[in-house]
Amino acid sequence: MGRPRNVGRRRKWFRDRRSGVAGSSGTDEVEYQPLLDREFLQITRISVEDKDNGADRIRVSVRGHGYDHPELEQVTAVAGSLYWGGRTTYLVAGESIVAIFTAPTDGDNLALYIEGWIWDYPPPLLEEALAVAGENED
């Protein structure tokens, strides 16, 4: 018969941010990689911002498994404007969310904000959690 889907799962709401300062390289990244082996992140909102002068482009992607999978993009990002995506995104161990800022001004303050649910799975349920994540991807 199998184990009921909600046995052993614990979740808690979180809000977090990562920030950085733009350098002179032309492209700067702000990355969020919080996952432990037993965690599964269900991100319900991702926001990005160049607080000072804006950027030519901001792209947010899921990084892991050898490539970046795009989630949202803003071309010609205006200084101090918050750009967000409301689509649910899932992360498992080995993945991260990265915001790539193209051509920000040297010294700009860059920010990546995320919120959603952290699911904690006891080790026997980790494989089931990964299977559930795969079922929910469209």
CB 106: neighbour CB atoms within 10 A? Answer: 12
Give the model confidence (pLDDT) of 70-109 as tens digits.
999 999 999 889 898 878 998 888 899 999 999 999 999 9
Q: Which residue has the higher pLDDT, 13 or 39?
A: 13
Of 62, 81, 63, 80, nearest to 72 by C-alpha is 62
> What is the pTM assigned to this prediction?
0.77
Give the tokens for residue 25: 């390289």
CB contact at 8 A, 74 and 113: no
CATH number of 10-136: 2.60.120.20
Give the tokens for residue 29: 């990244």
